[in-house]
Every structure is written in C-alpha cells, then in structure tokens.
Amino acid sequence: MLGRKKSRGSASPWDGPTTFVIGDIHGCLRPLRRLLGRIAPQPGDEVVFIGDYIDRGPQSREVVEHVLGLPFRCVFLMGNHEKMLLDYLDGKDEGLFLANGGLETIKSYGGHVAKIPPAHLRFFRDLKPMYETAHYLFVHAGIRPLVPLEKQSLEDLVWIRQEFFQFIGRFPKPIVFGHTPLRQVLLAPDRIGIDTGCVYGGKLTCVKLPDREVIQVPGWRG
C-alpha cells in the first residue's frame, strides 16, 4: 500500500518554499512516476533529488529522460552511481561501475555508452555535489564531520557512510541524505535518511519539508 505518515518535529521558523526530497531511484521508473503523482508539486514548490538515478534497476535511461522533462523546479544532486558512470566515461575505475549495476544502465541505453544522448551526458556532468538552504543541507551520502563545507571532498559527499552516519556529535542544521539503505526513514533532529531500498524491494521515499511528512510508494518489485 502507499504510505504517508507525519513525523514529530519540524523546522521553525520557515520562510522558504515547500520542498520535496526524493531518495535513491536506481532505474525504477514506475515507483518514481507513482511518487511524483502522490506529491503533486505546486507552483513555487521545489523538488530535490538526492542522487542515484541510475544503475541496478531496469530503466535508467527512462528515469533520466523523465526527470529532464519535469515541469516544476528541481534540484538534481550527484550520487555515487553517477560519479562511477562519469569515471567510467573518463577512463577511470571501469570495473567499479560495471560491478555496481552499470551493466543494467548500459543495457538501458541500447548496449553501449556511446548511445547516451548528449542531453543525458550534460545532466550527469551538471549534477550538484550538495545543495544548502537556510534550514537544511541536502547531499547524497553525507559529509565528513568537523570539516567545513567548502573543504568537503566530492568522494565523501557521494560515498561516506559510517563516519557521517554514526557521528555522535550534532550537525549545525539537518542534513537530508540517501545512499545508505534503511528499513525505515531516519528522522533525527540533525539527520534525515531517505534511501529505503527502492531497487531492492523496499520503498521509494519522499520527505516533505518543513513538516517532515514522509510519503512512500512500493519499490521496483512492489
């Protein structure tokens, strides 16, 4: 069933747009279409995609084509899977991309990376490493604790796990992230984790800010 629940606690005061943050999609077009239908962004809202549009699932190309055509304001972040694809295209770490779902992505593009359309290549290369507002920081994997944002490495922003996830301190503002699959959304005062394993049979998750409303649809096999 479709899930929609409200959490306790919200940012205050709030003077920005309603923001919908969508977790790791991984080539799962049908859950993405269902989720966008559920949230139905209005003019003035913004939708932040946390990264990992591609790999593992069967429709990476279709997912990218779909998000490129969305009519509302979107912010697209880079995930580690997009970083692996770019490294592969640049002749670096070829085995890493292929071993982590890249073959499914290549198949969705007709069997060869040369068939990736120029608009999709621009999309991948233009992805933001992070997105900061007055109230939140949005990033694919997390940040290295106690390191200023301007000194964070791209590798950490798209790959970090335990050093960020298990940090016992408190970050200055809530950080919304994906990358680490969770059974349930993490709703901590300073960390909001929204990768709920869509491609593994879990759910595709959106969190609506500032009220921290969680909106979910079944994942790829749901």
The whole-number pLDDT of residue 86 equals 97
Nearest to 52 by CA among 25, 74, 71: 25
Which residue type sits at 108? S
> What is the biggest distance separating any 2 CA atoms in the chain, rounded to whole angstroms?
50
Partners of residue 214 on adjacent β-strands: 5, 207
Stretches in the chain below the pLDDT threshold 50: 1-12
For 3-218, which CATH class?
Answer: alpha beta
Two tokens, residue 176: 């919304």
The whole-number pLDDT of residue 13 equals 56
> What are the structural domain ranges in the chain?
3-218
The answer for residues whose C-beta is within 8 angstroms of residue 45's C-beta and 6 or more apart is 17, 18, 19, 20, 72, 73
Q: How far is CA 72 from CA 79, 117, 178, 204, in A?
A: 21, 22, 22, 20
The answer for residues whose C-beta is within 8 angstroms of residue 111's C-beta and 6 or more apart is none
